[in-house]
Amino acid sequence: MGIEPLLIQGPRIIDPASGFDQAGDILIVDGKIAATGQIPQDQAPDGCRVIDARGLVACPGFIDLHCHLREPGFEYKETIASGTRAAAKGGFTSICAMPNTEPPVDNAAVVDFLKYRSRADGVVRVFPIACVSKGRLGRELSEMEELASAGAVAFSDDGDPVYDANLMRLALAYSMDLGIPIINHCQERSLSGDGVMAEGAVSGRLGLDGIPAAAEESMIARDIALAELTGGRLHVAHLSTAGSVTLLRQAKARGLRVTAEVCPHHLTITDQWVLGGNGLAAGAAGRFSYDTSTKVYPPLRGQRDVDALVQGLSEGVIDCIATDHAPHELTSKQCTYQEAAFGISVLETALGSTLQLVHQGLLDLPGLVHLLTVGPAGVLGSGFDELASLKPGTPADVVLFDPDQEWVVNPEEFLSQGKNTPLAGVTLKGQVSATFMDGRVVYQCETFDLGEAGHATPGLGAAS
């Protein structure tokens, strides 16, 4: 059965790749973008489904450089099926899966398995990220060329840093030939120690071991020096400190091939949220004591760091927003803060969270779309540009969202198996209405009408 042609009428179309930002229509034929702009109704093929998208924003499907699908090995936390459904609900049509699975993604057979399961069970595109080191043990370099040939789009030991400096040097050197970035989880363990949250006033009040900003910044500084030495492609995962932004800014000023990402939670909430009460208990631990759903690595930090990260985004110092979606089963969070697992389930709240920055006037909407589409595609390199564009002939990966729609976060309604979020009960402004991949509907909000085949909305679809 062929792919149904679609005419999406009347949204504000934001396509950062082409600089297009105006109200118009999108025609999708055979799973490809056929045209954008003012499209006369008679240009639509017979039987075309017409979707009224007035009042919505249409843009390329979001690309997530950094998520954890847990399969294989930890299917009780998440599966490719549940994780990709959650991604579609969040507006993501392409996601990159980290390799801290069991077995880890350190050989071509596991890459092949992930590609097979993604085709069989996934509803959005899944790109495997392979290990830098065999077994993610940090002792011996993985067979990088074999993994790249099998389909790995990047290399990382995420969940753990590439601790050995010489191993990191070798990986960066290989990245030059392969054209694939090395993504490092920057954590100097001799400094982070047994820390469970950011070092500061809140950790002191709660009596919890803190993680200093230097634990992140010292390894970033090392990796930047190695990138300069080798000329390799370094991508820094989940920036969280003001000092890290400064290091990145300096590296880019020197022309180094260094990119970085930041997560929605590090942009919008602080370590005050660890006290419970959605950040309202600012002075002391009260009846909430602490909220284990806020435990994440790198940890939530203070307002100064949040402000520096937002400024880094607005200046173009930070290249993209990535979720670091890290789903966990209930028991991993219903315990003491010290025992709780690191990680937040983010895919379904990413848009609503980051739109706060737009509503507060800290970013403009085209800039946010760029950070969720063109930015991550640029990090991945050639071949991914077409997934971040609505130009004719590109895959019809499209998200429709209402930037003003308010909704209350209810983890029980998540499509992800991971319900672990500190945003439970929080009202967010901005919600996905529908997501399309290759012209097929992969998510539809219950309140959004996808229209009927061959029925245009009066007053739309006429030539301007």
Question: pLDDT tens for residues 135-145?
Answer: 999 999 999 99
Over range 15-30, report the average pLDDT: 96
* Mean pLDDT of the residues in the chain: 94
**Is the pLDDT assigned to residue 435 strictly greater than 90?**
yes
Q: Is 160 assigned a catalytic role?
A: no
High-pLDDT (> 70) share of the chain, %: 95
Spatial distance between the Cα atoms of 330 and 328, rounded to a whole number of angstroms: 7
Q: Answer for the pair 101, 107: CB distance below 8 angstroms, yes or no.
A: no
Q: Residue 282: what pLDDT?
A: 47
Could you tell me the residue ranges of all domains in the chain? 62-395+407-432
Lowest mean pLDDT among 130-134, 211-215, 284-288, 316-320: 284-288
Q: Measured between alpha carbons, how far is 37 from 48 in angstroms, rounded to an integer?
A: 17
Please indicate whether residue 340 or residue 47 has the higher confidence score (pLDDT): 340
Q: Tokens 């880890």 identify what position? A: 104
β-bridge partners, 28? 6, 33
Spatial separation of the C-alpha atoms in residues 182 and 236, rounded to whole Å: 8
Rg (CA), the chain: 22
Statement: residue 21 has pLDDT above 50: yes
Is 262:242 a contact under the CB 8 Å cutoff?
no
Residue in 158, 271, 324, 438 annotated catalytic: 324
Give pTM, 2 decimals. Answer: 0.95
Task: Please report which confidence band the pLDDT of residue 276 belongs to, taking 50, 70 and 90 as the band edges.
Answer: confident
Query: CATH assignment of 62-395+407-432, given 3.20.20.140, 3.40.50.300, 3.20.20.70, 2.170.130.10?
Result: 3.20.20.140
pLDDT over threshold 70, residue 52: yes
Torsion of CA 190, 195, 196, 202, to 10 degrees: -130
**Span 357-411, pLDDT tens digits:** 999 999 999 999 999 999 999 999 988 999 999 999 999 999 999 999 999 999 9
- CB proximity list for 376: less than 8 A, separation 6 or greater: 63, 64, 65, 261, 319, 320, 321, 322, 384, 388
Higher-scoring residue by pLDDT: 62, 449: 62
Query: Which residue's entry shows tokens 């590439």?
Result: 162
Q: Which two tokens stand for residue 299?
A: 């940890």
How far is the CA of 431 from the CAs of 51, 56, 97, 360, in angstroms?
17, 10, 24, 17
Chain segment 154-166, per-residue pLDDT in tens = 999 999 999 999 9
Backbone φ, ψ for residue 429 (5° rounding): -120, 105
Q: Give per-residue pLDDT as tens, 302-356.
A: 999 999 999 999 999 999 999 999 999 999 999 999 999 999 999 999 999 999 9
Is it the case that residue 464 has pLDDT exceeding 90? no
